[in-house]
């Protein structure tokens, strides 16, 4: 059994528990405190006395209980976890009114709870044509809030990930994205590792972590050691982040050692003493935020959820022991990156604010940096966090940017751009009979003219609504890159040129060679993004199978974008194609797309399809495969692959 049916849930703490809490608070014994100690030794005595008195006499749990029930649609259901049986899990679930909304699993950490979704929930489900909307699920971790706790040892990261994935599937979300900080980072990363691609499509965290530079990443280590040099210096925000991280490592991690090694021992104090629980959590709420103005009742509501929790406050500590002892000290690192898109939000008072170069991964598609905020981003900075999620998952966001980008300052002269476009306009203005003399069907290497509807990117659909003129690599004379094999000539070789357009060939080739140069400049960046040596692709693009197409789109009828808004106009762009997606084992995405001319007048474009040398084997790049994500595609040479695609595209004429 994967899960039971959903049961609506309302918080209803027994009156006996509230009475017992007040009795314990009335009998509390407080320690003394050194003069002018402030926060140096921990939570100040005056703060704890004030909060304890308010909790005993003035705080109205029933009022806040009712508000939580009114604002958060809550449910429970049994989720069966392999080796542990069924756990009854409490969760918040609210669907957007937008049919095409994105399912999002929000995962909290310690000392948070499901309450952390409270402020971001209405923002995430909000319907607007300006940004995406989300169906939101936020579950209470086992042993937290109103979820049952495991009763057996060994409930680690794998089990938390299994729970989150099974909950989403039980709710009908076969595909979803995730967001989390603190333990939410570790759990959503595990979900991405185990269930990525099939179910988890992307993840976002406000707590990006990584191993410090080491010999395992020699270039990063060298850069770190030379960071005193201006070109390699860390930014001001990164230096401030390292200082904050140093403070946390030396002054703020005492709780971590206790909860990681002896959770049962500290658990007695938290379970029996509401004042002890109050001080233990209040310290973190204050020191882990960025000057957030906590209201006393706000603090007490957070802590009351722990005190009144189904399994008791001590149960929440065991995740530290189980995950850390089960996974090792690097359980929070990114030394093994996930292979689905990930986004980061940076807040300056986060506990571990690391330089971007440390947390970089080939799959990073979004970064958002903020000038204030700390560890509890969803509570402290709800608008900023939701804004980042909207950017990452919205039009032109991270998912799009994993395929599309814009190259600025490319250096191609306006003269060459205009010259090629004007040459194309003159060619397409020729009589059809003259253009058909250069019909691509007469070519053995896919060069020449394609008439309207003659090309078909989707062989099962209608022809494409444009006419085109295709050229490719054409070494001349004593060019050292002259073609040397019969195989090469299948993709390159002599182009076909019109005889009756003086200057056409020269204008087109001038732009073609400029565009080839830009292609060569981009490949070192791709190599670095894939954790490869910068020159990895250098010997693979000496004679690129680079096809350039001059295209003419006649005016087309305007079409509706559709209610789901999935038809996205992106304008000028650079994108990654099927060949690169195959080569990178789908680390780089190739998104099918086509131009639709809604302008009401003729449109012209000149795309360059930059490929590798013909004989380069498209064997999955080593950094893009692992035991967890083996190679998906059979080996094939680049030329054979591209030739097969072109043959299918122009099947109607070949």
Rounded Cα gap, residues 356 and 234, in angstroms: 9
Token reading at 265: 């021992």
Q: How do strand 364-369 and strand 574-575 relate by DSSP bridges? A: unpaired
**pLDDT at residue 104, rounded to an integer:** 98
Longest dimension (CA), the chain: 101
pLDDT the model gives residue 114 = 98
> Which DSSP helix (H) or strand (E) runs through 106?
strand 102-107
3-class secondary structure, 179: strand
Task: Indicate where the chain has its CATH 3.40.50.1820 domain(s).
Answer: 7-22+61-250+331-401
Residues of the chain with pLDDT under 50: 1, 329-330, 396, 398-402, 459-461, 477-489, 559-570, 651-654
Helix, strand, coil percentages (3-state) for the chain, rounded to 5, are 40, 15, 45
For residue 583, the tally of other CB atoms under 10 A from its CB is 27
Provide the pLDDT for residue 124: 98
C-alpha 38/C-alpha 46 separation (Å) is 10
CATH 2.60.120.330 region(s) of the chain? 406-649
Report the pLDDT value the prediction gives residue 223, as an integer from 0 to 100: 82
Contact, 224 vs 356, CB < 8 A? Answer: no
pLDDT of res. 44: 98
pLDDT of residue 144: 98
344 by Cβ neighbours in 10 Å (0-12 / 13-18 / 19+) ranks as: buried
Q: State pLDDT tens for residues 288-337.
A: 999 999 999 999 999 999 999 999 999 999 999 999 988 654 455 555 66
- So what's the pLDDT on residue 193? 93
**What is the homologous superfamily of the domain 406-649 according to CATH?**
B-lactam Antibiotic, Isopenicillin N Synthase; Chain (2.60.120.330)
Q: What is the pLDDT of residue 172?
A: 96
- Own/partner contacts of 241-245, CB < 8 Å, gap of 24 or more, are 241/346, 241/348, 241/350, 241/353, 241/354, 241/355, 242/353, 242/354, 242/355, 244/348, 244/349, 244/350, 244/351, 244/353, 245/351, 245/352, 245/353, 245/354
Encoded tokens for 133: 């909307």
10 Å CB burial of residue 463 (0-12, 13-18, 19+) is middle
- Which two three-digit tokens encode residue 476? 């001349």
Residues near 548 by beta carbon (within 8 Å), at least 6 away in sequence: 470, 471, 472, 508, 511, 512, 515, 606, 607, 608, 609
- Which residue numbers are catalytic? 182, 321, 375
Please write the tens of the pLDDT for every residue from 72-81. 999 999 999 9
> Which one-letter DSSP state was computed for residue 3?
B
Question: What's the pTM?
Answer: 0.66
CATH code of the domain occupying 7-22+61-250+331-401 = 3.40.50.1820
How confident is the model at residue 421, as a pLDDT?
95
């Amino acid at each position: 059994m994967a899960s039971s049916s959903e049961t609506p849930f309302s918080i209803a703490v027994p009156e006996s528990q509230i009475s017992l809490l007040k009795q314990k608070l009335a009998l509390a014994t407080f320690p003394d405190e050194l003069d002018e100690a402030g926060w140096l030794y921990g939570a100040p005595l005056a703060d704890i006395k004030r909060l304890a008195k308010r909790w005993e006499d003035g705080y109205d749990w029933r009022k806040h209980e009712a508000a939580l029930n009114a604002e958060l649609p809550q449910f429970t259901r049994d989720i069966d976890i392999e080796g542990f049986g069924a756990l009854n899990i409490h969760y918040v679930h609210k669907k957007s009114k937008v049919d095409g909304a994105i399912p999002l699993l929000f995962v909290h950490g310690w000392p948070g709870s499901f309450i952390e979704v409270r402020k971001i929930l209405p923002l995430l489900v909000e319907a607007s044509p300006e940004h995406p909307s989300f169906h939101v699920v936020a579950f209470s971790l086992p042993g937290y809030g109103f979820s049952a706790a495991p009763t057996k040892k060994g409930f680690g990261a794998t089990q938390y990930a299994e729970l989150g994935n099974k909950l989403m599937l039980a709710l009908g979300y076969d595909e979803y994205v995730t967001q989390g900080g603190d333990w939410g980072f570790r759990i959503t990363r595990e979900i991405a590792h185990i269930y990525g691609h099939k179910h988890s499509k992307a993840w976002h965290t406000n707590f990006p972590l990584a191993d410090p530079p080491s010999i395992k990443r020699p270039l990063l280590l060298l850069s770190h050691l030379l960071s005193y040099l201006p070109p390699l210096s860390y930014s001001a925000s990164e230096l401030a982040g390292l200082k904050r991280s140093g403070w946390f490592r030396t002054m703020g991690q005492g709780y971590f050692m206790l909860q990681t090694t002896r959770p049962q021992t500290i658990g007695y104090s938290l379970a029996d003493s509401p004042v002890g629980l109050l001080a233990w959590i209040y310290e973190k709420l204050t020191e882990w935020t960025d000057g957030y103005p906590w209201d006393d009742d706000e603090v007490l509501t957070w802590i009351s959820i722990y005190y009144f929790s189904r399994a008791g406050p001590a149960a929440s500590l065991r995740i530290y022991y189980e995950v850390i002892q089960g996974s090792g000290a690097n359980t929070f690192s990114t030394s093994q990156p996930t292979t689905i898109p990930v986004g980061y939000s940076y807040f300056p008072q986060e506990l571990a604010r690391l330089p971007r170069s440390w947390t970089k991964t080939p799959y990073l598609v979004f970064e958002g940096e903020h000038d204030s905020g700390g560890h509890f981003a969803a509570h402290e900075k709800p608008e900023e966090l939701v804004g980042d999620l909207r950017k990452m998952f919205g039009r032109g966001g991270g998912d799009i940017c994993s395929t599309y980008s814009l190259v600025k300052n490319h250096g191609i002269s306006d003269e060459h751009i205009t010259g090629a476009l004007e040459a194309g306009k003159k060619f397409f203005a020729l009589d059809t009979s003259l253009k058909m003399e250069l019909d691509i069907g007469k070519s053995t290497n896919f060069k020449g003219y394609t008439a309207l509807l003659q090309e078909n990117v989707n062989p099962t659909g209608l022809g494409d609504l444009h006419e085109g003129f295709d050229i490719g690599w054409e070494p001349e004379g004593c060019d050292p890159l002259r073609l040397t094999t019969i195989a090469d000539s299948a993709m390159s070789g002599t182009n076909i040129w019109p005889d009756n357009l003086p200057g056409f060939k020269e204008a087109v080739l001038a732009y073609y060679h400029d565009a080839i140069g830009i292609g060569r400049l981009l490949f070192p960046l791709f190599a670095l993004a894939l954790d490869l040596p910068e020159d990895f692709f250098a010997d693979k693009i000496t004679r690129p199978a680079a096809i350039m197409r001059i295209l003419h789109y006649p005016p087309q009828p305007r079409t509706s974008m559709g209610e789901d808004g999935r038809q996205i106009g992106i304008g000028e762009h650079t994108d990654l194609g099927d060949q690169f997606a195959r080569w990178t084992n789908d680390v780089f995405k190739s998104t099918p797309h086509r131009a639709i001319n809604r302008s009401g007048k003729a449109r012209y474009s000149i795309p360059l399809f930059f490929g590798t040398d013909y004989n380069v084997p498209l064997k999955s790049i080593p950094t893009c495969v692992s035991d967890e994500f083996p190679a998906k595609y059979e080996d094939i040479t680049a030329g054979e692959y591209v030739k097969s695609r072109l043959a299918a595209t122009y099947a109607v004429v070949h």
